[in-house]
Amino acid sequence: MAPKDINAFNDELRELHISGQWQYEDLLEKAIHGPRPKGEPYIWKWNNVYPKLVQACDALPESYTARRSLLFDNPGLQAHGTTHTLLMGIQIIKPGEIAWAHRHTMAAIRFVIQGNRNAYTVVDGEVCPMEDYDLILTPQWTWHDHHNPTDRTTIWLDALDVPLIRSLNAPFYEPYAGNRVQPVRLHESEYLQLRAGPVRPTWEKPKKENFPMRYRWKEIESKLKALAKEPGSPYDGASIEYVNPIAGRSTLSTLSCWIQMLRPGERTQRHRHTSSAAYFVVQGEGTTLVGEKALQWERHDCFVIPNWLWHEHANASKTEEAILFSVNDIPVLSAFGLYREQPENSLRAFEAPVVPVPAPK
């Protein structure tokens, strides 16, 4: 029997919605070099963003069901997203406003930029005051509404796992039935947050995830300062991860939050990893080299490091500390054994192009 022509055979298969693995061999071969980074390095300057936040208050006079949030689209991605898994943005709420209660399967965090003791987010009935640089979690499917009963606008950073949840096609959304705000728990004794500290009741089982949580900046800052006396990470300086205090792992199952200090004059070593990250500058000035780009940052700028791009950070000041808040998708990659990190100096030290490191716990 004459051998079948392979192109004709491929066509016959296509008619049946079948393809032979041999047609995808080039995709496998490309992966010899590891993943192609998704999206580009980019920086959103506070000088550009802040005036737009103010103008958004006029353009969108009322923010009830929608949020007055400016979301950062990576110029190198087709879909909405700051990275292929993470979405970062900045939200503003005017004096006297309430952003109505809703919940969704997309998990979110807030990092307060211009806060106030009397502004707050309610998460599953628990009041979380929004003071400067506090981190507040609104985990997957928790009810949340934002309140600004003060006479100053309140501004915070939003970060969500929206692109990941979209790519998994698992979005659900629900406005709070018939009402703009959810009821607030009357007594703090009912708060799950009270059970997530150094003590908890002996008479009940702890809820291990998706509980409301506020990480007060005052406490985090003092821990960061204390840990910054250690040498830290050669790639990230004095970098600490916010943890779920009960489960001991990342704040959320799809997203991890970090706060890191680059000490005066500190310049980190270059590396790359399979995770992507979006950054917010809490204080200081510096430069992050990402791929071919130099991102020059200062206070309240946001920037993005796509997955698998070489990068390094430098504090521009010889006298002042620089502090960066960031969110990353390490928990997702780690969960499936896909977190890999490559230090640049391994290129010189080893033949192997990729050096897997143990996933963080």
Question: Judged by CB, which is closer to ligand GTQ: 261, or 277?
Answer: 277
Rounded to whole angstroms, the Cα distance separating 294 from 53 reads: 26
Question: Judged by CB, which is closer to ligand GTQ: 108, or 281?
Answer: 108
> Smallest gap, in angstroms, from Cβ of residue 156 to ligand GTQ?
8
| Pair of tokens at residue 231 | 């040498």
| 124 is an interface residue for ligand GTQ by CB under 6 A | no
Length of the chain: 361
Which residue from 113, 164, 111 is spatially nearest to 140, judged by alpha carbons? 164
| 306 is an interface residue for ligand GTQ by CB under 6 A | no
What is the Rg, in whole angstroms, of the alpha carbon atoms belonging to the chain?
23
Question: Judged by CB, which is closer to ligand GTQ: 142, or 276?
Answer: 142
Question: Judged by CB, which is closer to ligand GTQ: 93, or 277?
Answer: 93
> Smallest gap, in angstroms, from Cβ of residue 82 to ligand GTQ?
11
DSSP string computed for 271-285: EEES--EEEEEEE--
Q: Is the CB of residue 102 less than 8 Å from the CB of residue 121? A: no
| 89 is an interface residue for ligand GTQ by CB under 6 A | yes
Rounded to whole angstroms, the Cα distance separating 242 from 360 reads: 13
Question: Judged by CB, which is closer to ligand GTQ: 63, or 274?
Answer: 63
Q: How many amino acids of this chain bind ligand GTQ (CB under 6 A)?
A: 10
> Smallest gap, in angstroms, from Cβ of residue 139 to ligand GTQ?
12
Q: Is the CB of residue 114 less than 8 Å from the CB of residue 46? A: no
| 81 is an interface residue for ligand GTQ by CB under 6 A | no
Burial class of residue 197 in the structure, from the number of CB atoms within 10 Å of its CB (0-12 exposed, 13-18 middle, 19+ buried)? exposed
In this structure, the strands spanning 116-123 and 126-130 are antiparallel
One residue of 126, 158, 321, 329 binding ligand GTQ per CB under 6 A: 158
| 144 is an interface residue for ligand GTQ by CB under 6 A | yes
One residue of 53, 128, 155, 160 binding ligand GTQ per CB under 6 A: 160
In this structure, the strands spanning 144-147 and 108-114 are unpaired
Measured CA to CA in angstroms, residue 72 lies from 43, 80, 106, 234 at distances of 9, 8, 17, 29
One residue of 37, 42, 67, 303 binding ligand GTQ per CB under 6 A: 67
> Smallest gap, in angstroms, from Cβ of residue 158 to ligand GTQ?
4
One residue of 69, 74, 182, 251 binding ligand GTQ per CB under 6 A: 69
Residues that bind ligand GTQ (CB under 6 A): 67, 69, 89, 91, 99, 108, 144, 146, 158, 160
